[in-house]
Chain A
Amino acid sequence: MSWFEKLMPSRIRTEGGNKRNVPEGLWTKCDACGSILYRAELERNLDVCPKCNHHMRIGARRRLDIFLDPEPREEIGAEVEPIDILKFKDSKKYKDRLAQAHKATGETDALVVVQGELEGMPLVACAFEFRFMGGSMGSVVGERFVRAVNRCLEGNLPLVCFSASGGARMQEALFSLMQMAKTSAVLARLRRAGLPYVSVLTDPTMGGVSASLAMLGDILIAEPGALIGFAGPRVIEQTVREKLPEGFQRSEFLLEHGAIDMIVDRRELRTKVARLLALLTHRPPRQPAAPPPAEEGDTAGQEAGQAD
């Protein structure tokens, strides 16, 4: 702050007012490291900060767009739309909240399902739209998810889900809670059919979504630094009345505690998931695999020998 600004009474000082003069959307700031980033470059980098590797939240459409092959794509379950069965009203009407969320996101609810291909492999992929009421799971999310799984069952397809959700949708009360049971039950069928389900946990995956469909993947992948858990950190802090450990409920914490299989950088997700699905479905590798380097095999052998 300059000496002149210091002289001015705080009332008439307009904090950060001049920042707004920058043309909308051209530059953006990383939430994590504060670097000012060129929007177009950030987008090319899939919204991962080139300076600090922070994975920013991205919308459902974009998520599916960068994950799937450009063609073919068919949306599933878009015809399923929300209704306000309980006439729920808190400080705002649920109906109004829905309308507002629709206006802000262009979506009719918080889950988008698309049948498409990944490196030529047909599959069904779904993604949560966090900006739609915190990605909360109500009847529509549950039903769309069920339709996604049913499509997998009909077409013998693997399922990939990108979760980003605060949990159950309070405005649908017990109906939303029951979506946990509904989605878990349909996944039991997928499991029985021997079709793989890769669940990708992105920032944040909490509450009822975490405690149902998100944690039931055959393979659990998290993006770096994502907040993942059942109870929110604030609730836990209030309950146990102690400071939460550093990095608590972050992807790295979950990996360390054995809760997930791996953490994968957003820019490598396509390749990684494609490889995992190919392995699980007995498909040949996309490119002929290079023979494993001889040294590696030898080292493994030596280590095994030493262990004996």
Chain B
Amino acid sequence: MNLNFLDFEQPIAELEAKIEELRYVGDDAEINISEEIQKLQEKSRALTQAIFSKLTPWQISQLARHPQRPYTLDYVERIFTDFEELHGDRHFADDASIVGGLARLDGHPVMVIGHQKGRDTKEKLRRNFGMPRPEGYRKALRLMELAERFRLPVVTFIDTPGAYPGIDAEERGQSEAIARNLQVMSELRVPVVCTVIGEGGSGGALAIGVGDRVFMLQYSTYSVISPEGCASILWKSADKAQEAAEALGITADRLLELGLIDGVIEEPLGGAHRDVETMAQRIRRRLVTELETLRAVPVDQLLESRYRRLMGYGRYQVKE
């Protein structure tokens, strides 16, 4: 089994393996098998298309957490120039599960903030699997306020399983840190554009996710609770995660339908990790366009429409 492929991608993995084999043979054999390879590649493409055209929410949530999925810094280096990372919350520590700093987008200075997961075991631990503690959120807050003072738009990338559920995090006020960010972001006097690039894990995601525009990559997820968590609470069994994923409506398409996000950024065939460069350019184009629009809006008007948008969240009936 090829670990670079998820369960449901195994047929693709098998085809790809066959192609690799043929290539290997082709190198030292006289017979021309390039035609055969080409045929198989087409087949693989068609198969991928077929599989990816009907992904279940649960499969999408696996893609969102794919070990090779690009993380914030993978995009930062491809989308921005002059990135200068800034560290620390000035109170307690520098939380590596949130990164942020000054950068240029299409020449214009901006503030970039995002959750950051680790690639190898050591980095995973250092980044705490992308689960911030209060100091992470307070660093983000500090950077956002810095951006506001210097009239720099804020661009955030969301990719976290959730805020860290740890003793120390609670001791230092996880709730307060998240709540404060929500409040400050709601009236930050610069454009804020948020993009969910992987996992949008509940309050831990929302804490850098209040803005004028919220986008999601096609195979990212955004949810009030992880499918596993929801299943173990409501179904009393983590095995029901697939059903929970379905019920929670965590996918980009569903959330767009429900009017909870502003747009879906299409991923390359097979997911963002299959072609990071293309993915980065698509995000870049979207950010450039949106910021151009938002920059032109007078600040008071920007804040008013952000406020109206926040007040519009929720579905209920009014009985007279």
The answer to the question of A248 belonging to the interface, with a C-beta cut-off of 8 Å to chain B, is yes
A49 to B173, CA, bound (A): 30
B247 interfacial contact with A, CB 8 Å: yes
Report if A196 contacts B (CB, 8 A).
Answer: no
Q: Is the CB of B320 within 8 A of A181?
A: no
Residue of B nearest to A210 (CB): B175
CB-based contact A139/B235 at 8 Å: no
Given A90-B235, A146-B311, A239–B166 Cβ distance below 8 Å? yes
Do A80 and B318 touch across chains, with their CB atoms under 8 A apart? yes
Q: CB of A279 within 8 A of chain B?
A: no
Residue among A177, A191, A245 facing the most chain B CB atoms (10 A cut-off): A177
Kindly state whether residue A79 has any CB partner on chain B within 8 Å: yes
Residues of B34-69 at the interface with A, using a CB-CB cut-off of 8 Å, are: none
A173 and B248 CA atoms in complex are apart in Å by: 5
Partner of A83, one of B183, B236, B249, B315: B315
> Do A216 and B183 touch across chains, with their CB atoms under 8 A apart?
yes
Query: Which chain A residues lie closer than 8 Å to B255 at the CB level?
Result: 174
A229 touches B311 (CB 8 A): no
Chain B residue numbers with a CB within 8 Å of A53 are none
Interface code B292-315, partner A: CB below 8 Å = 1, 0 otherwise? 000000000000000100110111
Measured between beta carbons, the chain B residues less than 8 angstroms from A81 are 316-319
Contacts known (A181-B313, A208-B203); A170 close to B225, Cβ less than 8 A: yes
| Contact yes or no, B311 A174, CB < 8 A | no
Report Cα–Cα, A122/B83, bound state, in Å. Answer: 52
Residues in B with CB closer than 8 Å to A232 are 165
Most buried by A among B172, B229, B236, B247: B247
Q: Are A185 and B166 in contact (CB under 8 A)?
A: no
Nearest residue (CB) in A for B210 is: A181
Check if A69 is an interface residue, CB within 8 A of chain B: no
Q: Are B165 and A139 in contact (CB under 8 A)?
A: no
Out of B170, B223, B247, B320, name the residue touching A230 (CB < 8 Å).
Answer: B170
A218 to chain B, nearest CB (A): 12
Interface residues of A in 159-188 (CB under 8 A from B): 168, 170, 172-182, 184-188
User: Chain B residues near A186 (CB, 8 Å)?
Assistant: 310-311
Q: Of A79, A80, A208, A235, which one neighbours B224 at CB under 8 angstroms?
A: A208
Q: Are the CB atoms of B247 and A86 closer together than 8 Å?
A: yes
Interface residues of B in 161-175 (CB under 8 A from A): 163-167, 169-175
Residues of A contacting B222 with CB < 8 Å? 174
- Nearest B residue to A234 via CB reads B165
A89: interface (CB < 8 Å)? yes
B178 at the interface (CB under 8 A from A): yes
- Report whether A182 and B175 are in contact in the complex, using a CB–CB cutoff of 8 Å: no
A182–B309 Cα distance when bound, in Å, is 9
Chain A residues with CB under 8 Å of B318's CB are 79-81
User: Is A30 in the interface zone, CB < 8 Å from B?
Assistant: no
Return the contact of B167 from the options A168, A192, A228, A240 (Cβ within 8 A): A240
Q: How far is the CB of A222 from chain B (nearest CB, A)?
A: 12
Number of chain B residues close to chain A: CB under 8 A: 57
Residue of A nearest to B312 (CB): A182
A212 interface hit (Cβ, 8 Å): yes
Q: What residues of chain B lie closer than 8 Å to A236, measured between beta carbons?
A: 165-167, 170
Q: Is A211 an interface residue (CB 8 A)?
A: yes
Given known A-B contacts A181-B182, A230-B175, A83 and B235 have beta carbons under 8 A apart: no
The CA-CA distance from A240 to B260 in the complex, in Å, is: 33
Check A143–B314 contact: CB distance below 8 A: yes
> Is B230 interfacial (CB-CB < 8 Å)?
yes
Residues in B with CB closer than 8 Å to A139 are 313-316
Indicate if the CB atoms of B317 and A182 lie closer than 8 Å.
Answer: no
Given A88-B247, A177-B206, A215-B179, is A257 in contact with B314 using a C-beta cutoff of 8 Å? Answer: no
Kindly state whether residue B31 has any CB partner on chain A within 8 Å. Answer: no
Chain A residues with CB under 8 A of B180: 215-216
A140 & B186 in contact (Cβ 8 Å cutoff): no
A207–B248 alpha-carbon span in the complex (Å): 18
B260:A212 contact, CB within 8 angstroms: no
Interface: A22 (CB within 8 A): no
Q: Is A178 a contact partner of B183 (Cβ separation < 8 A)?
A: no
| 8 Å CB interface, B195-240 against A | 202-203, 206-207, 209-210, 222-225, 229-230, 233-236
Contact partners of A142 in chain B: CB under 8 A: 313-314
Q: How far is the CA of A138 from the CA of B230 in the complex (A)?
A: 15
Question: Given contacts A143-B316, A170-B233, A181-B186, are A175 and B260 in contact (CB under 8 A)?
Answer: yes
Contacts of A176 in B (CB 8 A): 224
Measured in the bound complex, the distance between the Cα atoms of B233 and A239 in whole Å is: 16
Contact with A along B72-105 (1 / 0, CB 8 A): 0000000000000000000000000000000000
> Is A91 close to B, CB under 8 A?
yes
Knowing A139-B314, A143-B316, A215-B179, say if A181 contacts B206 (CB, 8 Å).
yes
Q: Which of chain A's residues has its CB closest to B243's CB? A: A90
Given the contacts A180-B206, A229-B175, A236-B167, A174 and B186 also touching, CB distance less than 8 Å: no
A residues with a Cβ closer than 8 A to B are 79-83, 85-86, 88-91, 138-140, 142-143, 146, 168, 170, 172-182, 184-189, 191-192, 207-208, 210-216, 228-232, 235-236, 239-240, 242, 244-245, 248-249, 257-259
**23 chain-A/chain-B pairs, Cβ below 8 angstroms:** A79-B318, A79-B319, A80-B318, A81-B316, A139-B314, A174-B222, A174-B255, A175-B258, A175-B313, A175-B314, A178-B206, A178-B310, A181-B182, A182-B313, A184-B183, A185-B307, A188-B184, A208-B224, A211-B207, A212-B182, A230-B169, A231-B170, A236-B167
| Besides A179-B314, A184-B186, 10 other A-B contacts (C-beta < 8 A) | A170-B248, A177-B206, A185-B310, A207-B203, A215-B173, A229-B170, A229-B175, A236-B167, A239-B164, A239-B165
